[in-house]
Amino acid sequence: MPVERDEVSGRNTTGHEWDGIKELDTPVPWASRWALRIAILYSLGYWIFFPAWPYVSDFTRGVLGYSSRATVLEKVEKAATQRDAFAADLLDGNLAELADDPAIRAKYEGSAAILARDNCAMCHGRDLGGQTGFPNLRDDHWLWSGDIEEIATTLRFGINSGHDEERSAEMLAFGAQQMLDRADIRAVTDYVLSLSGQPHEGELVETGAAVFEENCAACHGDEGEGGLESGAPSLTDKAWIYGGDRDAIYRTIWSGRKGVMPAWSDRLSEADIRKLALYVNWQRNE
């Protein structure tokens, strides 16, 4: 490749030319050369002192043994310690007494509302009013008692959650598992409708009452009033999780139900669980 000298600058060219523009053979600027040298020295130092090179299943630790993960965990633990100190009154107090303390409500209700939106609203609604398949937390109808300590227990361990201390409840699939035939299910459906004061076929109620006594009363009570300790809902009120019309009740008896409430003890701190229990209590009937 012929090399020629540029008449204007007096420098040799590289022999490269684009659209009449010839490239001069000029050296890399000194600032760029020094920047490259400094970057190389910095890289060598970083490789020596900090984690840098991966192995198959590990990495070099570096002379300083620095770990960003350890730093983050340390900060998280420090923040948790600070939160526990801030929430000492929440952790040490009786929940029923704390619920009636206006100072506690003023201090924690705002952050509790954020906790509820982040962890509870997807199922129970932003206002905790519930939706199909998930109970309303603002009324006085409860499966496991509306006592504030019981609310906290449900939050900790969940329902059908898989936790060792879970609360367990299941509505059997009387039709799908062939425990009752369709005629009996239709009859007990009308009996349940009669318990809650809804329109029903009177001639089926007597048969349905006998089916109910034999198959349902053990959980729901002799009068269908429910069982707080077993998680069986009352069938005498207007509160229905899966729907209270004829079709919904029939489907429930036929296919069964087994709702799940997650256990939050491994996801939220004890302070946050108690805060949520208080928040649910504060929102009831408001």
Question: What is the full DSSP assignment across 167-191?
Answer: B---B--TTTTTSS-HHHHHHHHHH
- Residue-level pLDDT at 191: 97
pTM: 0.73
pLDDT at 249 over 90: yes
- Residue-level pLDDT at 285: 63
- Residue-level pLDDT at 114: 96
Which secondary structure element, helix H or strand E, spans residue 23, and what is its range?
strand 21-24
Domains and CATH numbers, the chain: 1-66 (no CATH), 73-166+261-283 (1.10.760.10), 182-255 (1.10.760.10)
And the tokens for 101? 């303390």
Dump pLDDT digits (tens) for 96-131: 999 999 999 999 999 999 999 999 999 999 999 999
Dump pLDDT digits (tens) for 232-246: 999 999 899 999 999
Could you tell me if 223 and 236 are in contact, meaning their C-beta atoms sit under 8 angstroms apart? yes
Dump pLDDT digits (tens) for 174-230: 999 999 999 999 999 999 999 999 999 989 999 999 999 999 999 999 999 988 778
CA distances from 1 to 4, 17, 128 (A): 10, 12, 80
Q: Is 116 exposed, middle or buried (0-12, 13-18, 19+ CB in 10 A)?
A: buried
- Residue-level pLDDT at 2: 67
- Residue-level pLDDT at 3: 72
